[in-house]
Amino acid sequence: METLRLVASYLMMVILAPPIMLGIITKTKAAVAGRKGPPVLQPLYDTIKLLGKGAVYSKTTTWMFRLGPVVSLAAVLAAASLVPLVGAPLIAFNGDAILFAYLFALGRFVTVTAALDTGSSFEGMGASREVAFSSLAEPALILSFASLAYRSGGLSLAQMFAPHGGPSAAASAILALGSLFVVLLAENSRIPIDDPNTHLELTMIHEVMVLDHGGPDLAFILHGAGLKLVLMTSLLVRLILPEMPAVGAVGSLVLGLAAAAVVIGLVESSMARLRLVRVPQLLVAAICAATFGLILTLR
C-alpha cells in the first residue's frame, strides 16, 4: 500500500510538475514584461493537443528519427526514479549520481542523432552546439557532484542533495549550487545559454534540433525537456531548502520548484542570450566555481 502510494504520487509529480513549472516561468516573464501571459497550465494543454495530432515525417529520416524522442523521454523518466521527488527516491544506491549524469547523456545522444537524421543543416548546427556545450558542462556537473559527495559521505543523489550542517560545508555547497545552476541553464537550454522562444533558427541550440518533430514525438520531447528541468531544479531546491514540517516533504519541494521557476523567469527577463562564443566562457567559470567548492572540502 505504502509503495503504491509512493508510485502514485511519483507519477503525479512526473506528469504534472514539468508543464506547471514551465507555465510559471512563462507567467513570470509575462508579468515582468507587463503582459497577462498564457495560463499556467498552457504547456499541459499543448502536450495533450500534440498527443492527439498526427505527424509528418521527412522522407530523409529513418527509424532513428522516430526513436529519438521515445528514448530520450525514457532516459529522463529513468533518471526521475533516482531523484527524491516525493521525499524519497524510487531507487537509490551508491553511485546513482553518475548514472543520473549518463542517462542525460543518453537522452542527448539520441536527440542529436535524431536531429542529424533529418539531413538539415540547421539541425546539424544545433546538434553540433548541443554536444559542444554539454561537454563543457559535464566537468562542472561531476566536480559539483564530487564536492557534494565528500560533504555528505555518500555518492547517492538522495544523500548528496540534502542540507548538511557546518559553515564550511555551506560554503562548498554554495559554490556547487552556483555551478550547478549554470549547468541547469545549459542543459535545459535556458537564457543566457539558449533561448527557447527565439524565432531565428541560426541562433537556437535545442529548439533547432527538434524542428522536424511533430505530434506525439514533439509532445514527448517537450515533456522530457520539462521533466529534465524539474529534476535538476528539485535537486538544487533540496540542497538549499530544508524540509518544512508544515507542508511536508512534497509540499516543500513543490513550493521550492515554484520559487525556482520564478527565479528562472526573472533571470530570463533580465538578460539577453549570450553570444555563442561567450557560452564556453560561462561554462568554464562554472567549472572553476565547482573546483573551488571541491578545494574547500579538501581540508
Partner 1 sequence: MILLLAAVLALGVAAVLSASLFRHGHAARIIVIGGLAAAAIAGGALAWRVLWGLEVLDFIRPWLVPGAVFHLGIDSLSACFLLLVLIVGGCAGVYGEGYIAASHGHVPAIPARFFFLVLMASMALLVGARSAILFMVAWETMALAAFGLVSCEHGKPEVRKAGFLYLLCTHIGSLCLLALFALLGRNAGSLEFSAFAAAPALPAAQRTAVFVLALVGFGMKAGFMPLHIWLQEAHPAAPSHASAAMSGVMIEMGLYGLMRLLALLGPVSMPAAIFLVALGLVTAVFGIMFAMVQRDFKRLLAYSSIENIGIILTGVGLGCCGLASGSPSLALLGFSGAILHTINHGLFKSLLFLSAGAIYQAVGTRDIEACGGLQKSMPWTCGLTAIGAAAICGLPPLNGFTGEWLIYSWLLRPDIGHGMRFAALAAAILGVVGAFAVVAFSKCYGLTCLGQPRSEAARNAKEPSWIMLGPMALLAALCAIIGVFPAPALYVAFAAAGNVARLARPAVSSGLDEWSRLLGVVGLLGAGVCALSALLWSLRRSLLRRRGVAAGPTWGCGFTAPTARMQYSGASYPVPVTRVFTALLATQEEVHPPLGYWPVKASFASRTPDPALERWLPVLVAKCEDWLSVPRRLQHGRLQLYLLYVSAFLVVILLWKL
Ranges within 203-262 binding partner 1 (CB under 8 A): 211-212, 215-217, 220
Residue 60 binds partner 1 (CB under 8 A) = yes
Residue 89 binds partner 1 (CB under 8 A) = no
Question: Measured from the CB of residue 269, what is the shortest distance to partner 1 in angstroms?
Answer: 27
Q: Contact region for partner 1 (CB under 8 A) — 40-48, 51-59, 175-183, 250-258?
A: 51-59
Q: Contact region for partner 1 (CB under 8 A) — 25-33, 34-42, 107-115, 182-190?
A: 107-115
Residue 118-157 contact track with partner 1, rule CB under 8 A, x = bound: xxxxxxxx-xxx-xxxxxx-xx-xxx-xxx-xx-xxxx--
Contact 26, 265 (CB under 8 A): yes
Q: What is the largest CA-CA distance in the chain?
A: 59
Residue list 262-291, contact with partner 1 (CB under 8 A): 276-277, 280, 287, 290-291
The count of chain residues that interact with partner 1, using the rule CB under 8 A, is 93
Residue of 1, 3, 167, 299 interacting with partner 1 (CB under 8 A): 299
94, with CB counted inside 10 A (0-12, 13-18, 19+), is exposed
What span, in angstroms and rounded, lies between the C-alpha atoms of 13 and 85? Answer: 7
Residue with Cβ nearer partner 1 (71 or 237): 71
Residue list 64-83, contact with partner 1 (CB under 8 A): 64, 66-67, 69-71, 73-75, 77-78, 81-82
What span, in angstroms and rounded, lies between the C-alpha atoms of 137 and 176? Answer: 13
Residue with Cβ nearer partner 1 (45 or 93): 93
Query: What contacts 197, CB < 8 A, 6 or more positions away?
Result: none
Query: Long-range contacts for 11-18 (Cβ within 8 Å, ≥24 apart)?
Result: 13/85, 13/86, 13/230, 13/250, 14/77, 14/80, 14/85, 14/227, 16/44, 17/85, 17/226, 17/227, 17/230, 17/254, 17/257, 18/43, 18/223, 18/225, 18/226, 18/227, 18/229, 18/230
Question: Measured from the CB of residue 40, what is the shortest distance to partner 1 in angstroms?
Answer: 25
